[in-house]
Amino acid sequence: MKASNATSQDLIIVGNGMVGHHLVEQLIERGAHRHYRIRVFGEERHLAYDRVHLSEYFSGRDADDLALSTADYYAEHGIELHLHEAVTDIDRDARELVTPQGRYAYDRLVLATGSYPFVPPIPGGDRDGCLVYRTLDDLDAIREAARSATTGVVVGGGLLGLEAANALRGLDLDTAVVEFAPRLMPMQVDNEGGELLREKIEALGVQVLTDRATQHIEDGDTSRHRMVFQDDKRLETDLIVFSAGIRPRDELARNAGLEMGERGGVVIDDRCLTSDPAILAVGEVALWQGSIFGLVAPGYQMAKAAADTLCGGELTFEGADMSTKLKLLGVDVGAIGDAHGDRSPGARQFRYVDQIKQEYRKLVVSSDGKKLLGAMLVGDNATYDTLMQYYANGLELPADPASLILPSVEGAPALGPDALPETAWICSCHNVTKGAICEAIDAGCNDLGAVKGATKASTGCGGCAALLKSVVDSELEARGVEVDQSICEHFAHTRQALYSIVRVEGIKTFGELIEKHGHGLGCDICKPAVASILASCFNEPITDAAHVPLQDTNDTFMANMQKNGTYSVVPRIPGGEITPSKLRVLGEVGEKYGLYTKITGGQRVDLFGARLEQLPDIWAELIEAGFETGHAYGKATRTVKSCVGSTWCRYGVQDSVGMAIHLENRYKGLRSPHKLKFAVSGCTRECAEAQSKDVGVIATEHGWNLYVCGNGGMRPRHAELFATDLDDGTLIRYIDRFLMFYVRTADRLQRTSVWRENLEGGLDYLKEVVIDDSLGLGDELERQMQTVIDNYECEWAGALSDPEKLKRFRSFVNDERPDPDIIVTEERGQLRPA
């Protein structure tokens, strides 16, 4: 709706970044677009986009994918959008804005100009091939320069520098990071954390040079540039990216005579007003009480306060917490409050270091041990959310604060939604507390979607999604509202209920199940879930005609689809043990079909780049050589990793290879709510990394120790010690029961670690069920596992013997030719996607 000219004032927003766009949203939410004629000026040609996930631009996402809104959204609300039109001056006397295209009058003006990347004044820093990492255009320039480069250096080892290093790695450049400080991320981590972070990043193949000051950049001998450091050491590279921090884009304000900070930034008050009451400032250009906030969440809070000021409200900006939870180059880093402990006299500190798993955790607590003042995490952010709630809400710590950072501590308190006060921050991006969520529920929001719509919680970075759902479900149940846990609109049942129905009634097809207990035709949620349940119960081939329509792409073609439309081939190699003759077969197949070949983390060989129509021929050769499918494409048992154990190792106390092979052959083909990974270590030196698996087995002199419910991935978890010194038979019996109890009771796509976290009674309850047989289910769970084992067959072997099943393996229904859009290039002697 267009604003009415009779009552409208002219409001101009300079800057269309994340904070500027959020200000527009806040103004629309308050109906301000009906009272102001709003113009928005953006210097870039792109509409506001998500800078937080900027590195994903190199992973296939484009400007439209990263866009926060559309031009139609602005037009619909009568907002005039001026993209690619830089503001050059502010005429405060005439209250006009100046651009190359003209002059625009304003009654109120908001500066949301953000910041620019700081480039140290290094002689030679302006050479061709010396770039910055800030905007989409910057990333386009980096990508273009990388086409003729093999090496790249990032100047700056902070948050933005490591993001840039990740981008260069994604462009297949040999990458180095140069940092002036003695450690990486000096603002977030201490010396111990920085050293561990360095080790983890160097293990990824990124060279790290700290305590280095670049004196000048000159022509290189073998590369485009040579960087000369303060100690006369040199580093040659083809591409240099400066990402050494940011500076506020305050030149407009400075030239207009507004009050500025000593080191830059437009001075604002609590209402985001500058020294000119007609002008406001928000985001990284604004200086509040001597601080500039370089995170998006404080910028959003400023935008909210500024919108309220423009609408005559009294909401103020009261500062923001700079705690951060990050994943940089795949490495978790978390910093909460006074993480270094240097702002809290008398504070006590607890540290936990695991150099084998490369994890570091640190707590800073008050002198009486009752309040959390800060925390630092490197390598594992699993405890971040809990620690953040203790810090943000001033909750009293447990009697032993160290229990919060020690692995597998019995009785370590978990903060459920009931334990959080009304003031607890649930969503920092949009400043949403538990109290605000409760108010939304009391106002009539009776599901998660409605609460999101009313509060905007979890619509920013999304990091609070799990906590938000937990709070909403808890509050609805507390009000006597039945929380709908239906798997989807077609079944008014949970996954657990559907599993029980299938078992009790012996239902073996999706059609029969939906006819008796659901409605409609099914969807992409319920079909794969039911397919998994049917396979878990009866282990009939997923390639059978009744089951194929239920599978996702990977299961349909029994291979993982890659980003260029080809597929990967992963034969099973139980326990990582393989004969030379089978290795030769893999090499011959890889050469014959031009496949990219890689050793996986689970001790298998992955063959990438197979075209759809090639899969049957490849698998025919592999099966003839004695291989079978590795289920790398399915939510099923994947691998059982092992060390060499007592067979070869002088420290080994049990035959870890033999046990790993036995476990893999026993549980291969077991479909489950999520993928399953095992490992068996032959001694407590733990070379197979069993404590990071869903099922981990570690040899002792008296038998086997069993660990359960660990995982790697986006949110790594330690496995927990479940039982000790087990003989072979007892070990197998406990694993049978554990796996089938998980399959029976977990939600769809729920990993064992998350299932364990949500299990009422926790690990003790799980022990009671599996070890003590408290539910009297032990024999039944073992029989169910034996049914799965007895009905196992290699899915690829079954498909190859059925001409009807093979008809699926072609790119076009009416054409035998391969997909012409698959384009590859050669790299390091192998083919990869172009």
Residue ranges at the known binding site: 643, 649, 683, 687
- DSSP state for residue 107 in the 8-state scheme: S
Task: Give the tokens for residue 689.
Answer: 């990394």
Query: Measured between alpha carbons, how far is 617 from 633 in angstroms, rounded to an integer?
Result: 18
Q: What is the DSSP letter of 693?
A: S
Paired tokens of 341 = 């402990």
User: Rounded to 5 degrees, what are φ and ψ at 108?
Assistant: -130, 145
Distance CA 258, CA 298 (A): 22
Q: Any idea which residue has 């299961």 for tokens?
A: 555
Q: Binding site for siroheme: residue ranges?
A: 687
Torsion 740-745-751-756 (CA) sign: negative
Amino acid code (one letter) for 35:
H
Whether the Cβ atoms of residue 317 and residue 309 lie closer than 8 Å to each other: no
Element (H, E) at 583: helix 580-593
Residues paired with 335 in a beta bridge: 324, 376
SS3 content of the chain, % helix, strand, coil (to 5): 35, 25, 45
Give Rg (Cα) of the chain: 29
Here the tokens at position 688 are 């197979």
Residue-by-residue DSSP string for 749-787: T--HHHHHHHSTTHHHHHHHHHTS-TTS-HHHHHHHHHH
Query: Quick one: which of 739, 771, 770 has its CA closest to 755?
Result: 739
Tokens of 65: 């994918």
**CA-angle at 149, arms to 145 and 151, nearest 5°:** 120
Q: What DSSP line would sit under 649-692, residue for residue?
A: -TT--S-HHHHHHHHHHHHTT-B-SS-EEEEEESSTT-TT-GGG
Concatenating the DSSP letter of every residue in 214-246 gives: EEEEEE-SSSSEEEEETTS-EEEESEEEE-S-E
Residue type, 297: A
C-alpha distances in angstroms, 65 versus 17, 50, 84, 242? 15, 9, 19, 26
The alpha-helical segments, DSSP class H, found in 340-491 are 384-393, 434-442, 448-455, 465-478
Paired with 228 in beta bridges are 216, 234
Residue 578 CB neighbours (<10 A): 17
Contact of 627 with 618, CB cutoff 8 Å: no
Cα 566 to Cα 823: distance, rounded to the nearest angstrom:
10
- For residue 310, the one-letter residue type is L
To which H or E segment does residue 645 belong? Answer: helix 645-648
The total of other beta-carbon atoms located within 10 Å of residue 75's CB is 12
Query: What is the CB neighbour count within 10 angstroms for residue 494?
Result: 16
Which tokens in the block code for residue 714?
């986006």
Quick one: tokens of 305?
A: 């306060």
**Tell me, what amino acid is at 508?**
K
117: which strand partners? 246
Q: Which residues are annotated as a binding site for [4Fe-4S] cluster?
A: 643, 649, 683, 687
Return the ∠ at Cα 500 (arms to 498 and 502), rounded to 5°.
70
Q: Phi first, then psi: what are they for 208, rounded to 5°? A: -120, 120
46 C-beta neighbours (distance < 10 Å), count: 16
d(CA 521, CA 433): 40
